[in-house]
Amino acid sequence: MSDGPRPALPDERERAVTLSQLLRAGGAARPDAIFARIGSNGGEAAAALRVAAIDALADHYCARFRDAGVGEGERIVILGAPEPRALAALVGALRAGLNVVLAPAALDAGAIADAARRCNATALAGPTEFASLRLGERLFEAAAKVDEVSLVALYGEGAAGALALDAPQEEEATPPASPVDPELLTIDVLDAVSVCAPLSQSQAADIARAFLARAGLCPGQAIASMISLGSAAGLVGGAFAPLIGGAHVVWQAPFAALRFVEALDASAPAHLFAPASAVEALGAAGLLTPQRLASLTLVAAAGAKIPAFPHQLDLARVCVLRVGAGADLRLDAFEAPPDAAGGPAAAG
């Protein structure tokens, strides 16, 4: 791999700027650190994958992509389900030299096909199933709509397709480094049109480090994210920040609200990434308290107004992650409107 299989020094996470480098360094520095997923139908073993295990799985997926003959520099659409194997598939494809287009797992077959056309993708990948979603069937249906797509790669239980990523390799040696510098792109759906937006991994890492400094995250604390892993903001909160900060990550999955609250309480006080559109409901549910949250990051479009919301949080630990056109990211301090409800003074 371009970032090498060497042992990582403790400060390598500070120098790393790509997900591949961060996963390698995190696995070497904290091999027993655990990532978690919430609300899918998989077993507990997958839910408790350690960082080092995800790094090894990424190498395995890299080798599988190469054995399937996917050419370096080709584009692959990966559905970003909130689970560790999605991160492994993303990093494995990048290590294989593929340009990755990360898409939300909720896209239907027509939207996946449209994204593949607009991004000039030749391959599709994702889980066979996630929660109640039969994503493998969607990927095959999408592939049938796009002549240029020649490969569907699946992982998970019952994966049977053109490429079963979890199938064993004859040789499990670390794949050689790719000479290409692959792109990472995300899908934005604007006015019902899929747009491929390049994501700068160095910018995402910088934003994650700015969040860590502002939120005061300590290694071993939890980052809980309600933002799709198939988005720029979701990658910052659900991958870059926990890998850099040495945090446990809790991903919100579809149909798992109760389990998410239970996981939030078990990880309290956690650092929550949430859509600004949901913050009023979160406050009304009594979730925005210092007993539950150490910090709150609201994700909103550039220029969008943040509504007033009930809370008991220190405003110094509340910030806004703005997402602009082209996956451009900016982390702003939160400024409560004059008539805002809540705040530390409202705790009593």
What separation in angstroms does the CA of 260 have from each of 136, 263, 280, 307, 338?
Answer: 25, 5, 17, 23, 32
- Strands of 222-225's sheet in order across: 36-37, 248-251, 222-225, 270-275, 293-301, 318-323, 329-333
pLDDT for 138: 94
**Looking at residues 291-305, what average pLDDT do you find?**
93
**Looking at residues 286-314, what average pLDDT do you find?**
92
> Which is more confident, 57 or 2?
57
> Which is more confident, 213 or 82?
213
Can you tell me the distance from the alpha carbon of 327 to that of 236, in angstroms, rounded to the nearest whole number? 11
pLDDT for 49: 73
Please check the confidence at residue 15 and state whether its pLDDT lies above 90.
no
* Reported CATH class of domain 201-347: alpha beta
> Which is more confident, 303 or 28?
303
* Position 38 confidence tier, pLDDT thresholds 50, 70, 90: low
> Which is more confident, 304 or 27?
304
pLDDT for 141: 96
34-43, 64-73, 125-134: range with lowest mean pLDDT: 34-43
Please check the confidence at residue 251 and state whether its pLDDT lies above 80.
yes
**Looking at residues 41-64, what average pLDDT do you find?**
75
pLDDT for 203: 92
14-18, 37-41, 91-95: range with lowest mean pLDDT: 37-41
Same fold, 48-198 and 201-347: yes
Can you tell me the distance from the alpha carbon of 166 to that of 45, in angstroms, rounded to the nearest whole number? 14
Contact 249, 35 (CB under 8 A): yes
Please check the confidence at residue 342 and state whether its pLDDT lies above 90.
no
pLDDT for 262: 83
> What are the sequence ranges of the domains in the chain?
48-198, 201-347
* Position 238 confidence tier, pLDDT thresholds 50, 70, 90: very high
Can you tell me the distance from the alpha carbon of 182 to that of 90, in angstroms, rounded to the nearest whole number? 11
CATH of 48-198, one of 3.40.50.300, 3.40.50.720, 3.40.50.980, 3.40.50.620: 3.40.50.980
Contact 80, 105 (CB under 8 A): yes
Give how far the C-alpha of residue 336 lies from the chain's centroid of Cα atoms, to the nearest Å: 28
What digits encode the pLDDT tens for the residues 168-179?
A: 877 666 666 666
pLDDT for 2: 40
Q: For 181, what's the count of Cα atoms within 13 Å in the CB-facing half-sphere?
A: 4
Average pLDDT, the chain: 83
Task: Specify the pTM.
Answer: 0.87
Q: For 125, what's the count of Cα atoms within 13 Å in the CB-facing half-sphere?
A: 37
Per DSSP bridges, beta strands 329-333 and 318-323 are: antiparallel
* Position 12 confidence tier, pLDDT thresholds 50, 70, 90: low
